[in-house]
Every structure is written in structure tokens, then in C-alpha cells.
């Protein structure tokens, strides 16, 4: 009697960056922050649209990077004060927003794993500081809004206002609505 082993079919193939870390290439319109704990880095420079391909790094790959380079990692920004000068909850026209005042590491856009590391901490420090507030909700949408502000207006719009009442977490839909879908 023959035995068959069923292997899962991975519909999206992973690729490896120049440092050997795995990522999944995805178009901007295929990225949804409600689907897990990951970080996206554009694979090309210049203008971006819904077909722009991003390297999607799973959090486990970023952690592997941090563990493999403890000396380098120790010098990289990981504290709120390194990414933002301040933050505060505000209400404008009856809408609650978390206003963030970014510093350079919050909007830097290095390629590959270095970019994924900066994304992880620009988000993590905000989440750690504010997620216990009664005003915090719709985490995936807030994460998409934050990354949109860092990727597009960058330093040219301050503060970055991320709004917990918004529910859209598809990255491209957030970008298409100027970070506030």
C-alpha cells in the first residue's frame, strides 16, 4: 500500500534579499495590515502606485536579523524618543486622532532588512506607548495609516495624525486616500 504525503502549496513564493532574509513580494494593493505582523519595504525607488512591488518581511525574519547582529542592533533606534519628539491625543471637529511628531528615523526609507527594522520600531514604539488608551482601536488601520505617513508625506507634513475610527487596513486603499481612508 502506497502512502501519500500532502504538502501545503505556497501560492506566494518567498524570495531572499541580499543579506539572506526571506520576504514575500507583493503589490501595494495586495498588502493588508490585518493579515499579520509584518513590515513592507519598496523594492524600487521613485513614484509609487498600486502596482509597486514591496518586500513583505515577516516579524520573525526581522527578529532573526536583530539576533544575528547584536552590536549593530544595539546602535539602531528602538525608543519612542528616537522616532518622535512628542505625541498626543487630539480631537478635531469631533474626530479623535493620535498626533505624532516624527524625527528622521520615523520616515527614513532604507532598502531591505534595515528598512524593515526601522518600520518595526517606528510602529512598535507608538503601539507600546498608546495601545492601552481607551481611544485606541482598529490597530491594523492605525498601522497602515502610520506607514502611509512615513512613506509619503514623510517630514513634509507634521504632525502625522492617525485616526482610530478608521477601519481600512489595505495599504494601497489607505495611500490612495492620502493616509486617511
One digit per residue, the tens of pLDDT, for the chain of length 181 reads 444 444 343 445 689 988 899 999 999 999 999 999 999 998 877 667 888 899 999 999 999 988 887 666 667 788 999 999 999 999 999 999 999 999 999 998 888 888 898 999 999 999 999 999 999 999 999 999 999 999 888 888 999 999 999 999 999 999 999 999 8
Measured CA to CA, the distance from residue 69 to residue 115 in angstroms comes to 15
Q: How far is CA 130 from CA 16, 104, 137, 151, 164, in A?
A: 34, 21, 10, 21, 11
Measured CA to CA, the distance from residue 79 to residue 6 in angstroms comes to 45
Within 13 Å and on the Cβ side, how many CA atoms surround 48?
A: 19
Pairing of strands 84-92, 95-102: antiparallel
Dihedral over Cα of 42, 103, 144, 153: its sign: negative
Amino acid at each position: 500500500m502506497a502512502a501519500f504525503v500532502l504538502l501545503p502549496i505556497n501560492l506566494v513564493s518567498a524570495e531572499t534579499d541580499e543579506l539572506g532574509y526571506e520576504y514575500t513580494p507583493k503589490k501595494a494593493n495586495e498588502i493588508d495590515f490585518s493579515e499579520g505582523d509584518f513590515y513592507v519595504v519598496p523594492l524600487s525607488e521613485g513614484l509609487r502606485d498600486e502596482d509597486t512591488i514591496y518586500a513583505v518581511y515577516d516579524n520573525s525574519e526581522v527578529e532573526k536579523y536583530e539576533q544575528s547582529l547584536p552590536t549593530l542592533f544595539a546602535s539602531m533606534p528602538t525608543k519612542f524618543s528616537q522616532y518622535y519628539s512628542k505625541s498626543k491625543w487630539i480631537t478635531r471637529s469631533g474626530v479623535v486622532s493620535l498626533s505624532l511628531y516624527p524625527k528622521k528615523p520615523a520616515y527614513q526609507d532604507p532598502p531591505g532588512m534595515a528598512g524593515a527594522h526601522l518600520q518595526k520600531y517606528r510602529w512598535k514604539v507608538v503601539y507600546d506607548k498608546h495601545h492601552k488608551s481607551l481611544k485606541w482601536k482598529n490597530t491594523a488601520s492605525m498601522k497602515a495609516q502610520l506607514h502611509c505617513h512615513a512613506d509619503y508625506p514623510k517630514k513634509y507634513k507634521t504632525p502625522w495624525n492617525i485616526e482610530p475610527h478608521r477601519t481600512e487596513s489595505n495599504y494601497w486603499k489607505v495611500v490612495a486616500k492620502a493616509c486617511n481612508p
